[in-house]
Structure 1
Amino acid sequence: MTRVLLSTYGTRGDVDPLVALAVELRALGADVRMCTPPDEEFADRLAGLGIESVPVGPPVRALMRPTAPPTAAELTRYRAELLETQFDVLPAAAGGCDALVAAGLAQVAARSVAEAAGIRYVYATYAAVNLPSPHHAPPPRPGWPEPEGADNAALWELDAQRVNAQFREPLNAHRAALGLQPVDNVRDHVYSERPWLAADPVLGPWPETAGLEVVQTGAWTRVDERPLPAELTAFLDDGPPPVHVGFGSIGPAPDIARWSVEASRARGHRVLVSRGWADLAVDDCFAIGDVNHQRLFGRLAAVVHHGGAGTTQTAARAGVPQVAVPLRVADNPYWAGRVAATGVGAALDGPTATFETLTAAVDTALAPETRARAAALGAGIRTDGATTAARLLLDELR
Structure 2
Amino acid sequence: MNVTLHFFPLLTYFHLNYLTVGVDPLSMHVLSKSNSLEELSVYDKNTLLSLLKDQSAFPTLEEMVGLNEMGGSHSFSRFGDMQLMYYYIHRPTHDDETKNRTKGTKKEYVRDLLQFFTFLQVTMENENDVPISSYLKGAHKRHIRSYQEWLKNLIRQDGKKGYPSSTRARKTTVVKSFLQWLYDEDIIKHPLPIAFKKSTYRKEERPDRSLSLNEVQDLLNYYKDHPVNHALLLILFTTGLRVNEVATAKRSNVYYDASVNGGSYFLRVTTKGNKRRDARIFNTTMDSIKRMRQLRGLKIDLDPTDDSPLFCTNKGNPYSYKYLSNYIIRIIGAADFDWLKRKEGNISPHWARHFFVTYSIIQKGIPIDVVQHTVGHSSRSTTEAYIDKYLDKKKDATWGWDEREFS
Q: TM-score, normalised by structure 2?
A: 0.32
Larger Rg: 2
Larger helix share, 1 or 2: 2
Q: Which of the pair is proportionally richer in strand?
A: 1
State TM-score, norm by structure 1: 0.32
